[in-house]
């Protein structure tokens, strides 16, 4: 709801909204980006979530190109009572296809990402329009997106506060470019 509120009142924070995404890369936590390959077993990918203490990961193909996103919300694909537990033994790409078939209105059809030249208003718009919790920051290699960081809703709020001059607990005051 806070992301939606920011999007609705973006005219009140123009310097933040017009800021290039590349300006925030230094404030993103590098270890928060978790990447899983599309051909790994879904159960193994979700075990990575637990080990890395995250709720989502970038899904890449064998060339490292971003092709999807896997989220803890995708666990709905095993059913409320676990009656489809066997789906966890599908590879990630098949598991996501299964979840999209089961929940077409609750599972994004594609992965959302930005590159460094886009603006923060683009991040807000994508998060707001798709009710998304994460957007991947990618670099382009042969015109294909390769994830280098993840921008979460928490990151957007934290970076906005830093941009407005707030010093957050445990953070060193830094001037935004």
**Residue 150 and residue 120: Cα distance in Å, rounded?**
13
Q: Are 65 and 111 in contact (CB under 8 A)?
A: no
- 114 three-class SS: strand
Q: Output the average pLDDT for the chain.
A: 89
Query: H-type helices in 53-136, by residue range?
Result: 92-102, 120-130
Please tell me the predicted confidence (pLDDT) of residue 78: 93
Q: What is the mean pLDDT of residues 14-21?
A: 92
Whether the predicted pLDDT of 51 surpasses 60? yes
Q: What is the mean pLDDT of residues 45-57?
A: 95
Whether the predicted pLDDT of 25 surpasses 70? yes
Least confident of 8-12, 94-98, 172-176: 172-176
Q: What is the mean pLDDT of residues 15-23?
A: 92
Please tell me the predicted confidence (pLDDT) of residue 158: 87
Please tell me the predicted confidence (pLDDT) of residue 10: 83
- 168 confidence band (pLDDT: 50, 70, 90): low
Comparing CA positions, the residue from 43, 90, 36 lying closest to residue 64 is 36
**What pTM does this model have?**
0.86
Sign of CA dihedral 48, 98, 111, 5: negative
Please tell me the predicted confidence (pLDDT) of residue 31: 65
Write out the two tokens for 49: 């979530």
Domains, the chain, in order of start with CATH, read 2-163 (3.10.580.10)
pLDDT digits (tens, 9 = 90+) for 94-131: 999 999 999 988 888 889 999 999 999 999 999 887 67
- 111 three-class SS: coil
Q: What is the mean pLDDT of residues 6-18?
A: 86
């Amino acid at each position: 709801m806070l992301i939606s509120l920011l999007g609705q009142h973006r005219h009140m924070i123009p310097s933040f909204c017009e800021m290039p995404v590349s300006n925030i890369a230094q404030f993103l936590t590098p270890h928060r980006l978790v990447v899983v390959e599309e051909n790994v077993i879904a159960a193994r990918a979700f075990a990575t979530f637990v080990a890395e203490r995250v709720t989502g990961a970038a899904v890449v193909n064998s060339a490292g190109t971003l092709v999807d996103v896997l989220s803890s919300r995708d666990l709905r694909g095993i059913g409320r009572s676990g009656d489809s537990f066997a789906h966890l033994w599908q590879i990630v790409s098949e598991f996501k296809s299964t979840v999209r078939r089961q929940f077409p209105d609750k599972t994004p059809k594609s992965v959302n990402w930005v590159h460094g030249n886009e603006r923060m208003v683009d991040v807000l718009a994508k998060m707001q329009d798709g009710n998304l919790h994460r957007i991947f920051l990618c670099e382009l290699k042969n015109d294909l997106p390769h994830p280098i960081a993840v921008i979460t809703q928490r990151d957007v709020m934290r970076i906005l506060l830093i941009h407005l001059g707030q010093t957050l607990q445990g953070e060193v005051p830094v001037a935004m470019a």
